[in-house]
Structure 1
Amino acid sequence: MADIEITKNSKADKKVDVTCRECKRSTKHLILSDVCLKGRGYMGPYGDFMWHDEHQIVQCQGCETISFRKTHNNSENLTHFVDIYPNPEDGRDAIDDSHLLPSNLQLIYNETIKSLEFRVSEEKNH
């Protein structure tokens, strides 16, 4: 049987770093509202499985854009997942003056932009 604990607005009015889709960089975002879910489940002889999810409405402190932020972590892996909606990487524009970059840097820049565009189109198709 799973144990689930729900808390609301325990992090409201705190700030977190989030990539802003309007500012196109990591900025301080104010947590306007949040819901945290913590759970624990029994896995037999392997012990307990624990997880923690946070769902937050956040606002950029620069341009005031509002986004949704979800985090997840669990006891099975040490990876901490963070998702931002809408995805700030969607629609990322290339700089207009990339032709002014040194040739080796320009090649790397163009390859990176193509890679990001490919990744976004792949995510939309799945």
Structure 2
Amino acid sequence: MSKRIVKSYCRACGKKTNSEVLAENQESHRDEYRCDISYQILQCLGCDTKSFRKVFEDIEAAYPTYDDEWEVPEEITVYPKAVEGHREIDDIWNLPEIVRVIYSEILMALREEAKVLAGLGLRAAVEAVCNDLQIPGRSLEVRINRLSTAGYISKNDSERLHGIRFMGNDAAHDIKKPKDEALSVALQIVEHLIASVYILEKKAQGTIDTTISKYEVFERIISEKLEDFSEGDEYPIAKYLGKDTRRVKEAISTLEQELINKITLGDYSRLSIGKVDTFQNSPQQLQHFIVENV
């Protein structure tokens, strides 16, 4: 028996592929409303992904064509439903729960074509990222701007996120259904935000040397570097950082001042504040720090 092959959307391949019909059950209705319904189990011939497909043939709505034949309209639904042409973010379980839940619900709304809810969800995703990063602000407008000034996203990214804010506001206040193209672009913008803040950040750590502007990262690297020094050593921060000084060049004064504040408040005990002096013919005097035995 030859295989029956149909074209069907594959959620794994992200496009229509040739799929084999592994099993099929057909129903014909000729009573109150004439229609044929096929229930099929499919397997993608490209990646072996399984899916379930329902084909509804509306005989009542059939119409003649130019070839003196009849065209029967079909309504095809594939399960699990997918957002056609879209590839979901990998490893979403590594995202913070608040972000992961909102992102998953956005995709659920898009699969069911609940466009107003999807517009609301995209706005909520931006709020969720701000909440997770503890970005303050009395409004989402302020918080988006602070995402940029805090260094999490670029100025261009923040401008695009304001577009998400406008879309969400329209969906919430005017019950305005976003257009398909707008939703597609908005989803890409939100996924870019998630990737930039969480996924690429995690992949970059320990893989490539990036610039450092966040104090938490600066403190962690300092603590790692101190393992190569002895108690009582007294040097400027650049000596402890070594080659990694280039990574903090743009923010060194701000990061060093925050380190001093942490030491003064007793929140960082690996170093104590030392003298202010020149070091190895430096053109200016530098703040020194003393290694403590912790």
After TM superposition, what 4+ stretches of structure 1 lie above 2 angstroms from structure 2? 90-94, 114-117
CA distance in structure 2 between the aligned counterparts of 1:15 and 1:31, rounded to whole angstroms: 6
What amino acid maps onto 1:80 in structure 2? E
CA distance in structure 1 between the aligned counterparts of 2:187 and 2:6, rounded to whole angstroms: 25
What amino acid maps onto 2:82 in structure 1? P
Structure 2 residue aligned with 1:89: 83
Secondary structure of the structure 1 residue equivalent to 2:184: helix
What amino acid maps onto 1:33 in structure 2? A
Structure 2 residue aligned with 1:20: 10
**Identity between Structure 1 and Structure 2 (%):** 27
**CA spacing shift, 1:115–1:77, aligned 2, 3 Å:** farther
**CA spacing shift, 1:116–1:37, aligned 2, 3 Å:** farther
Q: Map 1:32-111; keep pairs closer than 5 Å.
A: 32-41=22-31, 49-78=33-62, 79-89=73-83, 92-93=86-87, 111=182
Q: TM-score, normalised by structure 1?
A: 0.58
**CA spacing shift, 1:93–1:73, aligned 2, 3 Å:** same
**CA spacing shift, 1:41–1:16, aligned 2, 3 Å:** same
CA distance in structure 1 between the aligned counterparts of 2:58 and 2:85, rounded to whole angstroms: 31
Residue 87 of structure 1 deviates from its aligned partner by 1.1
CA distance in structure 1 between the aligned counterparts of 2:75 and 2:57, rounded to whole angstroms: 6
**CA spacing shift, 1:52–1:20, aligned 2, 3 Å:** same
**CA spacing shift, 1:84–1:27, aligned 2, 3 Å:** same
Higher mean C-alpha deviation, range 56-65 or range 69-78 = 69-78
Q: TM-score, normalised by structure 2?
A: 0.26
Structure 2 residue aligned with 1:123: none
CA distance in structure 1 between the aligned counterparts of 2:55 and 2:77, rounded to whole angstroms: 6
**CA spacing shift, 1:116–1:54, aligned 2, 3 Å:** farther
> How many pairs were matched up?
88
Could you say which structure has the greater relative contact order, defined with CA pairs below 8 angstroms and 6 or more residues apart? 1
More strand by share: 1
What amino acid maps onto 1:72 in structure 2? F
Q: Unpaired runs of 5+ in structure 2?
A: 63-72, 89-180, 189-294
Cα distance per residue 1:5-39 (max 9 Å; x no partner): xxxxxxx8300000100000110000000000011
Please say which structure displays the higher CA radius of gyration. Answer: 2
Residue 50 of structure 1 deviates from its aligned partner by 1.7
More helix by share: 2
CA distance in structure 2 between the aligned counterparts of 1:25 and 1:17, rounded to whole angstroms: 10
Residue 56 of structure 1 deviates from its aligned partner by 0.3
